[in-house]
Amino acid sequence: MASWLADVLLHDLDEELSGMTGYYVRYSDDMLFIGKDYGKAMQVLEQKLGEKSMKLNPKKVEYLMSDAGSSFSGSASRGT
């Protein structure tokens, strides 16, 4: 049920981020955006969530460099 609810609530966000230059994927409330527009993607994400009285958990936001390993929806190596 939680995945379905996330799909309904975040549909407009999915549409906007999917139309940006880059690669966007979301599974329930875990999101991944890869591309040069990551800064704009974060602005859109924060704006759209704010409109829904939601916000990001800063402890779970990661910026990774292209040479850093990552495990989507799990622990990740942080790039510098």
* The two three-digit tokens of residue 72, written as one number: 């989507």
Which pLDDT score, from 0 to 100, does residue 47 have? 94
59: part of which helix (H) or strand (E)? none
Report d(CA 31, CA 45) in Å as an integer.
10
Which pLDDT score, from 0 to 100, does residue 2 have? 83
Q: What is the pLDDT along the chain (80 residues), one digit of tens a residue?
A: 888 989 999 999 999 999 999 899 999 888 899 888 888 999 999 999 999 999 988 888 888 766 655 555 554 444 43
Which pLDDT score, from 0 to 100, does residue 61 have? 87
Which pLDDT score, from 0 to 100, does residue 80 have? 39
* The two three-digit tokens of residue 15, written as one number: 């549409």
Rounded to the nearest 10°, the torsion over CA 57, 46, 31, 2 is 70
For the whole model, what pTM was predicted? 0.71
